[in-house]
Amino acid sequence: MRFKCPISGCSCSYKRKGDLKVHVKAKHPERPEVANKIAAPKSSKEGKRFPCPYYGCPCGYLWKKDLLRHLKNAKHGPVVTWDDLFYRFDEYYS
């Protein structure tokens, strides 16, 4: 599926909707209302099957392989689980 430029006379098309929006803003600045009608791509975890488990990370993926690649390459801190917290709490207060 390709997203075609809605400006008459322009034959540009893009694989991603976000790229089309960038194109319209850059090449057709006289038509800002057109760029505003093009929805921005979602950047949240909402609707994603494989959200990043790190607190505060907004990334989410449709495919497990993409999440695994993200976990391998992202600069996240260590994961803290509830078990870790309870163990440290018990250790500290006993």
- Is the pLDDT at 11 greater than 60, yes or no? yes
pLDDT at 46: 58
pTM for the whole structure: 0.43
Residue 80 vs residues 50, 56, 68, 77, 89: alpha-carbon distances, Å = 19, 13, 18, 9, 13
Q: What residue segments make up the domains of the chain, in order of their start? A: 3-37, 50-93
- The predicted model gives 51-75 an average pLDDT of 87
Nearest partner of 34 among 23, 45, 50, judged by Cα: 23
The tens digit of pLDDT for each residue in 37-53 reads: 887 555 555 567 888 88
Averaged pLDDT of the chain: 81
The lowest-confidence range among 1-5, 26-30, 52-56 is 52-56
Q: Give me the count of residues in the chain.
A: 94
